[in-house]
Structure 1
């Protein structure tokens, strides 16, 4: 599990980052893999880390079922309920065919008053709501940085600065090559990809409200 995912909460958003490498044994298969999936029609992002097959299959299963719930019931699950669904499915598979994947679920929904949420879930189906977290080998280098520099109520640019520090440390210290990361933010306006190395503001349509 040489890949890395990182998540942190800001003032009114949740920020997720993941490396873009996909490997098999000692072979680099691709370096454009998107490991952060948006749940259709919901302000929820799921970042996954782990074995390639398990990661892709499990995230697809989760997103399809969350969307099916919305279609059947004409309502969305909250971010918290979605995270509990993820944990439940990992627990079900634990003693039959466990998924070797670790998950970060982040989102913002109106059910909780547009409050950002972030849930740390590992392959053993343990779950905890956190302010920040990381999975994978990169977590060995990033958790101390997050612990020192994270603060409540950060704006998006402040959060990106902390994230840049984490990525720089991973690329400097980790033996495995992780040349690029994808970063996505989710807020009450939806989810979108952001550039890790540029200043960010609210979307143009949001500024007009």
Structure 2
């Protein structure tokens, strides 16, 4: 232990044993978020996200979890809703600017790295706090790609990944059942089965979102009737 722990708890500064408490707290907020899964398939990327609806009077469509960023890029988040929506707006601005200048879809990894830099910046200056979300950024440029960015600004590419409260269970299942070159439909079924298991089968089409980004077709958001076909 070390004296005056609160001095390191009030801002983004390292404690004597190399910890950033505010970043750790942000990661705890992500663990309380609803589960989202991304899977790279042969012809694109699948994103599936659970909408955690706790109020009977809420309109489900207003709790959107998967967002079209560009015709060939989408994103989802787990953690604090306001932070997630802010990062979505930032991603849209960056891809729109890239398209206006270069007349093309921004490379998925470039966008993910830009978001990692933004999230890292929030851990480096006084008066700011880390973003309390992890994001999955998926899309197709030269091939299907999937990236995760966490509250510390750490970036990694994945074949399949999960964020949120069910990350541990989802990752264990993905490690066993994911196969290179999966068909999009096969990847969708795997993602849905994992989210159902995490939520003890208390899942229906009202609190699940599914999207794909595929070669030649781009972003597709599944309607409720299509989602129901996977139950």
TM-score (norm 2): 0.74
Q: How much does 1:83 deviate?
A: 1.1
The structure 2 residue matched to 1:191, chosen from 206, 219, 226, is 219
- The aligned counterpart of 2:121 is 92
The structure 2 residue matched to 1:10, chosen from 25, 41, 63, is 41
Q: Report which of the two has the higher share of strand.
A: 1
- The aligned counterpart of 1:106 is 138
- The aligned counterpart of 2:28 is none
CA contact (8 A) 1:36 1:184 kept: yes
TM alignment of 1:49-198, pairs within 5 A: 49-95=78-124, 96-109=128-141, 112=142, 115-172=143-200, 180-188=207-215, 189-194=217-222, 195-198=226-229
Q: How much does 1:140 deviate?
A: 2.5
1:21-70 alpha-carbon deviations (Å, 9 max, x no partner): 366xx998553322111113x30011111101111112112212221232
Q: How much does 1:80 deviate?
A: 1.2
Q: How much does 1:72 deviate?
A: 3.5
Structure 2 unaligned blocks of 5 or more: 1-31
- The aligned counterpart of 2:64 is 34
CA contact (8 A) 1:7 1:134 kept: yes
CA contact (8 A) 1:13 1:108 kept: yes
Q: In 1, Cα distance between the equivalents of 2:211 and 2:134?
A: 18
Q: In 2, Cα distance between the equivalents of 1:169 and 1:52?
A: 24
Q: In 1, Cα distance between the equivalents of 2:59 and 2:80?
A: 14
CA contact (8 A) 1:22 1:28 kept: no
Q: In 2, Cα distance between the equivalents of 1:76 and 1:190?
A: 11
Structure 1 unaligned blocks of 5 or more: 200-209
1:78-117 alpha-carbon deviations (Å, 9 max, x no partner): 11111111111111122333211110010012xx2xx110
1:130-170 alpha-carbon deviations (Å, 9 max, x no partner): 10111111213211111111100010221122112202211
Give secondary structure in 2 for the equivalent of 1:39: strand
CA contact (8 A) 2:74 2:139 kept: yes
**Structure ID, larger Rg:** 2
CA contact (8 A) 1:91 1:125 kept: yes
Q: In 2, Cα distance between the equivalents of 1:159 and 1:129?
A: 17
